[in-house]
Chain A
Amino acid sequence: GIQVEQSPPDLILQEGANSTLRCNFSDSVNNLQWFHQNPWGQLINLFYIPSGTKQNGRLSATTVATERYSLLYISSSQTTDSGVYFCAVGFAGNTPLVFGKGTRLSVIA
């Protein structure tokens, strides 16, 4: 099956710093999503981005489908950005998403 690798596994940032999280996947996909799991466990949708670039406030994401990777950018990080960021990929139809193991981000004041 498809493999999803996220890097780095852990990241510690000073408040205000920028960061880039990476997601590599082993096969062509037509569904890619980024999620943020907050410290209380809630998974929040950040982006649905099978290709191209999207921005939402301080967060942006880029997926280069032909090269099988996606990047999540966090600018001017805040302590509320802490948590685990997951990348998940899938195909059309009713097949479930395949999740990476996540990047655990800690933003310290």
Chain B
Amino acid sequence: SQTIHQWPATLVQPVGSPLSLECTVEGTSNPNLYWYRQAAGRGLQLLFYSVGIGQISSEVPQNLSASRPQDRQFILSSKKLLLSDSGFYLCAWSVQTGGLTQYFGPGTRLLVL
């Protein structure tokens, strides 16, 4: 069966520090991968999605970037965090053919102080 992992689970970082959040998927090959952010406990904002290694589509211009160095690994990064980057970050995956059902990871809570 497929599983999706995210780490860390929680993170407190000072303004101006770098960020690296990791997401990995097991049990499937060549998945679509997604990064979402949820602020204030409501509404999911799509940040990035990827249909293959090295292929990243950005939905919202911002202080963040994403990379996909391996087929089942998706990384969200920032060089300098802003207060507004605080939120709940969710990674998701879907198969590339068929119904495109998305499955979400457990998320990372980021607080920027």
Q: Is the CB–CB distance between A84 and B42 below 8 Å? A: yes
* In the complex with contacts A43-B104, A94-B51, A48-B43 CB distance below 8 A: no
CB distance from A105 to the nearest CB of B (A): 13
Band of interface residues on B: 20 to 34
With an 8 A cutoff between CB atoms, is A101 at the interface? yes
| Chain A interface (Cβ < 8 Å from any Cβ of B) | 31, 33, 35, 41-43, 45, 48, 50, 84, 86, 88, 90, 92, 94, 96-99, 101-102, 104
16 more A-B contacts (CB under 8 A) besides A35-B104, A45-B103, A84-B41? A33-B101, A41-B107, A41-B109, A48-B99, A48-B101, A84-B42, A90-B100, A94-B32, A94-B49, A94-B96, A96-B49, A96-B59, A97-B46, A97-B100, A101-B42, A104-B42
